[in-house]
Amino acid sequence: MIGFAVTIALCLLALSLAATAMRGLSMASVAIYGSSALLCLALVLVGAGTLLTHADASGMRIPIGLPWLGSHLHLDALSAVFVTLLGVGGAAASAYAIGYGRHEHEPHRVLPFYPGFLGAMVLVLLAGDAFTFLLSWEIMSLLSWALVLTNHRADETRKAGYLYLVMAGLGTMLLLLAFGLLAGSGGGYDFAAIRAAKHSPALAALVLALMMLGAGSKAGLVPLHVWLPVAHPAAPSHVSALMSGVMTKVAVYGFMRVAFDLLGPVHWSMSVPVIVVGALTAVMGILFANVDGDGKRILAFSTIENIGVIFTALGLALAFRSSDMPVLAALALTAGLLHAMNHMLFKSLLFMVAGAVLNATGRRDLDELGGLIHRMPKTAFLALIGVMAITALPPLNGFVSEWLLFQAVLQSPKLPQPGLQFLVPAVGGLLALAAALAAACFVRFFGVIFLGRPRSDVARDAVETDRWSLAAMGGLALLCVLAGILPGFLIDLMAPAVDLAVGARVPVQGGNSWFTLIPVAEVRSSYSGFLVMVFVAISGGAVAWLVHRLASRRLRRAPAWDCGFPNADPVTQYGAGSFAQPIRRVMAPLLGARETVTMPPPGDMSAARHGVQTEDMAWRFCYQPMIAAVFYATTRLNALQFLTIRRYLTLVFGSLILLLTGLTIWN
């Protein structure tokens, strides 16, 4: 299996090189995206095959890389879950890109980086030593950075690219430190060696904190999320889908690999920061999504929310595991993994929808769209499924994972630590708040884009998107429905990975009658998405039939009631800003929102102006002090640039002594 997986990864990387050679060929785009899609499908086979056959972990070593280490590659159940996730997301994004890529002005700015980006992500998942992991991680970051810069002429994009590069660099540096600590001064960078070594509690805490910062910056944990809502939307939509749907999950994988596998058991207090940061991320992400006016940015903010939900689940799993309750840990971890999979499905779908709308209208701003359900009925239908899934409406897939997570939250009184007993229900409240805000956010997203009357000429003249895009979106929508009504199969599929991470699994779901989900025997709750679907279909269908059969079937079209203000302009419709205003006012301190009203002096006929500025608080309280500190330090250190040779030599000698002393003390 591992050989097959590595071959696919290398093929994807080679495809990148081929793309540079194929520059200028007219069929290059179809060839590259088509072969990427096929390779990703093969990845699904590898990942799902490994999980289905309960294959043992397999590894191999390639003699490239560090001379004494080589490159270890390794495929176990945990990697396989994420490989499957990547395969599905990558295949859908590539198929979508076959159609979407035709509209690209400069395809050679995307093509050479796209397959390599996929390949690098596969290598991160397969990495069996810290060196391979970090190298692939950095290639992934750099290639995605290049993809973000596709539309490099826009000033915003260049800023986004710069911010992303800085944050990615910071993240990799922190990961490097984390792995350095794990490997110890002996330099055992192989994951097997790290796993075998004993880690002191203080070191484990430090490593976990570094992983939270390093992997969290890639995943988008608050307050390291600032780059995500600018960089993800700047890329072409299929790349946005990959970055939001898949790359953030690769970061989640990195965190899981260290926190659950390499680090060994950790103290329960380590789970507190993960849970708290996860819940705060969920709420802050969705709050920002509620007040933003740009369709793709809303989706990026919602990614932050979902990452928060996933990290909360991981934190709960850590808490349960450290208190020796492996079954409940398995429940929380299953919820987290399932949510990662589900989020990949619906977020990719929604980014593709945003891309289709962008292609049809050239607009991302919600307040310039509207009424697209008439012009793009198929896209609208698929978008509705995506929106229902992401708002966690039963019987779709988003609900299943959130339901599982709430089941885990409801088990928190069983935890022995009073601190967690208080904390986790509060976190449950925050998650419920986030879910409610997500519903408001996506009613706004779908309603303003697809419903109502068009707010601009381009929206009025939009045309349905191409078949490839529709097929990719349709596939994802179908998977959203299937994962919602038959979640037991996915849970069974993921069970080996859960077992690997926490040493237990939730009961086998495959044999339950009516596809009912019974997460843990001690949790006396069950849920059957299949039956809910059947119930809704039967009752809805029966009522529709009865009403049409028995009641009047006459239908009259009439102008909408206009409340006595005829010929209202479409801009007077309830728009994105109207939805945002109450939340923005209530949450103004959190969102850093300021409203300014400039009134003309009396007698002046010019218009009054009402402006809104929102500023992410992370900038003011986290980044600006940090930037100031860096500036201060660099100006001070500038003196070191103008020393005499004697002083330089002293400096070098002094630092050598200092480092050696440090090393001696550590050992």
Partner 1 sequence: MELIENIVLQALQMLVVLTLAPGLTGLVRKIKARLTRRRGASVLQPYRDLARLMRKEVVLAENASWLFRVSPYMIFAATWVAAALVPTFAIGLHFSWTADLIAIVALLGSARFFIALAGMDVGTSAAATHVAAKIR
Question: In the complex, which residues of this chain contact partner 1 (CB under 8 A)?
Answer: 370-371, 373-374, 377, 380, 384, 388, 391-394, 399, 403, 406, 436, 439-440, 443, 446-448, 451-453, 514, 516, 525-528, 531-532, 535-537, 539-540, 543-544, 547, 550-552, 554-563, 568, 570, 572-574, 578-579, 582
Give how far the C-alpha of residue 72 lies from the chain's centroid of Cα atoms, to the nearest Å.
27
- 68 vs 561, which CB is nearer to partner 1? 561
If the CB atoms of residues 258 and 369 are measured against partner 1, the closer one turns out to be 369
Residue 367 is encoded by which pair of tokens?
């307040």
In angstroms, give the least distance from the CB of 548 to partner 1. Answer: 10
Output 254 or 394, the one with its CB closest to partner 1. 394
DSSP letters spanning 291-344: H--BHHHHHHHHHHHHHHHHHHHHHHHHHHHHTT-HHHHHHHHHHHHHHHHHHH
Rg (CA), the chain: 26
Three-class DSSP labels, 509-547:
CCCCHHHCECCCCCCCCCECHHHHHHHHHHHHHHHHHHH
Q: How far apart are the C-alpha atoms of 180 and 191, rounded to whole Å?
A: 12
Nearest residue (CB) to partner 1, 377 versus 510: 377
Task: Determine contact, residues 278/309, Cβ cutoff 8 Å.
Answer: yes
Query: Minimum CB separation from partner 1 for residue 529, in Å?
Result: 9
Q: How far is the CB of 464 from partner 1 (least distance, A)?
A: 14
Pairing state between β 593-598 and 71-75: unpaired
> Which CB sits closer to partner 1, 324 or 457?
457
Considering beta carbons, is residue 103 or 453 the nearer one to partner 1?
453
Q: Nearest-CA neighbor of 221 among 134, 315, 146?
A: 315
Cα distance between residue 88 and residue 95, in whole Å: 11
What type of residue sits at position 522?
A: E
When the beta carbons of 202 and 560 are compared against partner 1, the nearer one is: 560
CB atoms within 10 A of CB 4: 16
Cα distance between residue 369 and residue 445, in whole Å: 11
Nearer to partner 1 among residue 551 and residue 608 (C-beta): 551
For the bound state, the minimum distance from the C-beta of residue 515 to partner 1, rounded and expressed in Å, comes to 10
Give 38 or 534: the residue with its C-beta nearer to partner 1. Answer: 534
CB of 543 to partner 1, least distance (A): 6
Residues 6+ apart with CB under 8 A from 508: 492, 495
Helices 295-322 + 201-219 axis angle, to 10:
160
> CA 212 to CA 195: how far, in whole Å?
19
**What does the H/E/C string look like for 157-183?**
HHHHHHHHHHHHHHHHHHHHHHHHHHH
Q: Which is nearer to partner 1, 134 or 390 (CB)?
A: 390
For partner 1, the closer of residues 82 and 399 by Cβ is 399
- Identity at 128, one-letter amino acid code: G
Residue 492 CB, shortest distance to partner 1, in Å, is 19
561 CB burial (10 A radius; 0-12, 13-18, 19+): exposed
Burial class (CB in 10 A: 0-12, 13-18, 19+), 295: buried
Q: What is the DSSP string of 18-38?
A: HHHHTTT-TTHHHHHHHHHHH
CB 291 within 8 A of CB 328: no
Q: How far is the CB of 106 from partner 1 (least distance, A)?
A: 36
Q: How far is the CB of 500 from partner 1 (least distance, A)?
A: 29
Shorter beta-carbon distance to partner 1: residue 1 or 480: 480
CB atoms within 10 A of CB 457: 10
β-partners of residue 60 are: 73
φ and ψ of 517, to 5 deg: -95, 115
Question: Closest distance between partner 1 and the C-beta of residue 278, in Å?
Answer: 19
- Shortest Å distance, C-beta 521 to partner 1: 13
Q: Which two tokens stand for residue 425?
A: 């229900």
Q: How many other CB atoms are there within 10 angstroms of residue 187's CB atom?
A: 13
Considering the complex, what minimum distance in angstroms separates the CB of residue 448 from partner 1?
8
Task: With CA atoms as reference, report the closest residue to 121 among 149, 95, 93, 98.
Answer: 93
Least distance between partner 1 and beta carbon 349 (Å): 17
Fill in the DSSP letter of residue 140.
Answer: H
User: In the complex, what is the shortest distance from the CB of residue 184 to partner 1, in angstroms, rounded to a whole number?
Assistant: 45
**Residue number, 117 or 450, with CB nearest to partner 1:** 450
